[in-house]
């Protein structure tokens, strides 16, 4: 649906939803994107910790959403999961891992993004 709505001249679209997301091989995901595609989606559902007392603060939710959005958009630029534990492109199996990431690409991922841009 987002792909069909992408206006001419727009390189990428990031959809933000508050619904729970899952894929056939995982019971939930924070977001999803097609590798090298033009559309990504991120969900606040699992980022809010609704099952925890009081849920996430707005600052924590914002930090988690920024990292999730960067991660999913990174996939649209051809980046795969990174082994650097604090890189935004590392796979996060849970909120603790997501919280440990920094909202930035590591040097190796930055190099891949630059190479992708030069090759475009």
Residues labelled as active-site residues? 72
How far is it, in rounded angstroms, from Cα 98 to Cα 88? Answer: 8
Tell me the sheet residues that pair with 31: 42
- Residues in the chain, overall count: 120
Residue 98 to residue 67: CA distance in whole angstroms? 8
Distance between CA 48 and CA 14 in Å, rounded? Answer: 19
Distance CA 67, CA 73 (A): 10
């Amino acid at each position: 649906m987002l792909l069909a709505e992408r206006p001419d001249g727009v390189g990428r679209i990031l959809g933000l939803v508050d619904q729970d997301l899952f894929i056939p091989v995982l019971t939930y995901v924070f977001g999803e994107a097609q590798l090298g595609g033009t559309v990504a989606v991120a969900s606040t559902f699992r980022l809010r910790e609704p099952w925890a007392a009081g849920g996430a603060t707005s600052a924590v939710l914002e930090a988690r959403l920024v990292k999730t959005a960067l991660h999913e958009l990174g996939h649209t630029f051809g980046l795969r999961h990174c082994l650097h534990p604090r890189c935004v492109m590392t796979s996060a199996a849970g909120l603790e891992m997501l919280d440990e990431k920094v909202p930035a690409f590591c040097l190796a991922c930055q190099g891949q993004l630059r190479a992708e841009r030069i090759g475009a």
